[in-house]
């Protein structure tokens, strides 16, 4: 039954509404460098595990604040290959093995002995036209791919794609964290760029809001259909204009407490929701990570080094101010994610199973894995149903793994549906229709693609 369902959805086009690939790849279509630059150095799932077992990041080809590492790519690849057993039972191994086999035709096992064979085979392939970004995009049968950019990004790569005549649909996502989070490392600098790119007085509250409206409109014009917000918590607020202005003034001066920074982020989620009512952009909220937990590593290597750790995340009280304001307005769509699985059945499914504006994003980050995706369905479906969820997100900068990730999600969903059929909780034809919804249709609908 699971196989029949899977066979019916495996070849559907890929809709990737949330991810972190680089639009420049598709704008300029230059060849990828080598196995390390393509697969290892950008993937914090890989080097976090190797780091946990005592391998220095330098030996893996990961750049530090001092610059690129001096290690030879082949040597870095050998480090990785000789420890590939560490990934047994992880989704990383699942995705990589599928990439190795399906994209590069490599079917021997990766280990110390085969490291060079892998490095050479991948390197040779990457020098051929069939492995250029656009060719892979087409081979992967991607219908639409969303990248993620800051409001201060001029979207030049996206413009270059559109003007190139190449028909691949690659759109951006409005991710304003750098200009919304007063504790972001580059907040003040980003705010200056925000003023420059919009021509608004981004250092006054109303000018700042106008700058957001202007950039959102520019993103929307370039194809964007969604915003994304990666806050430490899901806190929202609903301050009066006067209170919000006073808070903004503190934030701008840099004289704010952590609680005030939190309140400002909270207020801005509500402001973003208000703007979404006007411009129709779908909101995504990705809360719950304690970023840069490893102090020494952050000092030496900066952000995104595999040291972000989930923490308990409240939704019931956190979202209430925003929901009190806009929770029943069906023009708004807010997609919620979590790193705290205990919230699935306790908070998220009940919230999404009630509020018209809320939908549940798929199992995210650490939980985007066979066991994690299975728990997501087991713990949300009975209260929120399938139709308050939004299909799959690959959420990756590992471009080559996109088909493998969607494939894993399709397999897990089909296995879950097949179990419902076998337990007489769903009819076969309903399962088949739902499988296609989960694999393809819901993502298009939820993200207004």
Pick the closer one to a second copy by CB: 22 or 430. Answer: 430
Convert residues 71-90 into a mask of x (bound to a second copy by CB under 8 A) and - (unbound).
--------------xxxxxx
Pick the closer one to a second copy by CB: 268 or 358. Answer: 358
Pick the closer one to a second copy by CB: 13 or 356. Answer: 356
In angstroms, the CA 365 to CA 63 distance is 22
In the range 141-200, which residues lie near a second copy by CB under 8 A?
none
Pick from 35, 179, 244, 352 the residue near a second copy by CB under 8 A: 352
Burial class (CB in 10 A: 0-12, 13-18, 19+), 255: exposed
In angstroms, the CA 262 to CA 63 distance is 31
Convert residues 213-232 into a mask of x (bound to a second copy by CB under 8 A) and - (unbound).
--------------------
In angstroms, the CA 309 to CA 395 distance is 17
Backbone φ and ψ for 62, nearest 5 degrees, come out as -90, 130
Asked if 31 interacts with a second copy (CB under 8 A), we say no
Asked if 49 interacts with a second copy (CB under 8 A), we say yes
In angstroms, the CA 237 to CA 318 distance is 8
Cβ-based neighbours of 229, under 8 Å, separated by 6 or more: 175, 176, 177, 180, 269, 272, 283, 284, 285, 286, 287
In the range 308-337, which residues lie near a second copy by CB under 8 A?
308-312, 314, 316-317, 320, 323-324, 327-328, 330
Residue 228's DSSP bridge partners are 284
Determine the 3-state secondary structure of 244 from DSSP.
helix
* Smallest gap from residue 423 Cβ to a second copy (A): 7
In angstroms, the CA 23 to CA 118 distance is 27
Asked if 443 interacts with a second copy (CB under 8 A), we say no
Pick the closer one to a second copy by CB: 163 or 240. Answer: 240
* Smallest gap from residue 173 Cβ to a second copy (A): 24
In the range 381-400, which residues lie near a second copy by CB under 8 A?
381-388
* Smallest gap from residue 382 Cβ to a second copy (A): 4
In angstroms, the CA 173 to CA 158 distance is 11
* Smallest gap from residue 389 Cβ to a second copy (A): 11
In angstroms, the CA 127 to CA 140 distance is 18
In the range 364-383, which residues lie near a second copy by CB under 8 A?
366-367, 369-372, 378-379, 381-383
In the range 288-307, which residues lie near a second copy by CB under 8 A?
290, 293-297, 306-307
């Amino acid at each position: 039954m699971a196989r029949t369902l899977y066979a019916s959805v495996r070849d559907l086009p890929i809709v990737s509404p949330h991810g972190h690939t680089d639009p420049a790849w598709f704008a300029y279509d230059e060849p990828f460098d080598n196995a390390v630059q393509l697969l290892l150095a950008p993937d914090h799932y890989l080097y976090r595990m190797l780091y946990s077992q005592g391998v220095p990041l330098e030996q893996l080809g990961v750049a530090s604040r001092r610059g690129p590492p001096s290690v030879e790519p082949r040597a870095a690849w050998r480090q990785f290959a000789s420890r590939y057993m560490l990934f047994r039972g992880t989704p990383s191994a699942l995705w990589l093995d599928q990439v190795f086999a399906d994209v590069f035709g490599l079917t021997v096992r990766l280990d110390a002995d085969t490291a060079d064979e892998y490095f050479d085979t991948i390197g040779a392939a990457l020098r051929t036209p069939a492995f250029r970004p656009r060719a892979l995009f087409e081979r992967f049968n991607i219908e639409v791919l969303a990248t993620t950019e800051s409001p201060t990004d001029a979207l030049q790569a996206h413009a270059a794609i559109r003007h190139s005549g190449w028909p691949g649909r690659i759109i951006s996502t409005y991710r304003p964290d750098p200009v919304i989070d007063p504790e972001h490392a580059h907040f003040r600098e980003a705010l200056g760029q925000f003023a420059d790119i919009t021509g608004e007085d981004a250092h006054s509250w109303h000018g700042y809001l106008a700058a957001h409206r202007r950039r959102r409109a520019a993103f929307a014009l370039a194809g964007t259909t969604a915003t994304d917000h990666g806050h430490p918590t899901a806190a929202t607020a609903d301050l009066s204009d006067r209170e919000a202005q006073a808070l903004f003034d503190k934030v701008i001066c840099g004289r704010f407490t952590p609680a005030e920074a939190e309140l400002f982020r909270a207020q801005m989620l509500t402001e973003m929701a208000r703007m979404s009512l006007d411009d129709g952009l779908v909101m995504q909220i990705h809360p719950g990570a304690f970023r840069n937990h490893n102090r020494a590593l952050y000092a030496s290597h900066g952000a995104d080094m595999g040291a972000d750790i989930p923490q308990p995340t409240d939704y019931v009280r956190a979202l209430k101010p925003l929901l009190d304001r806009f929770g029943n307005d069906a023009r708004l769509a807010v997609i919620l994610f979590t790193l705290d699985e205990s919230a699935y059945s306790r908070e998220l499914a009940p919230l999404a199973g009630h509020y018209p504006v809320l939908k549940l994003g798929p199992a995210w980050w650490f939980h985007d894995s066979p066991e994690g995706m299975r728990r997501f369905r087991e713990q949300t479906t009975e209260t929120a149903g399938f139709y308050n969820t939004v299909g799959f997100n690959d959420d990756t900068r590992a471009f080559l793994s996109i088909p493998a990730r969607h494939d894993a999600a399709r397999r897990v969903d089909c296995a879950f549906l097949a179990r419902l059929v076998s337990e007489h909780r769903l009819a076969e034809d309903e399962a088949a229709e739902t499988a296609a919804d989960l694999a393809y249709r819901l993502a298009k609908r939820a993200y207004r693609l």
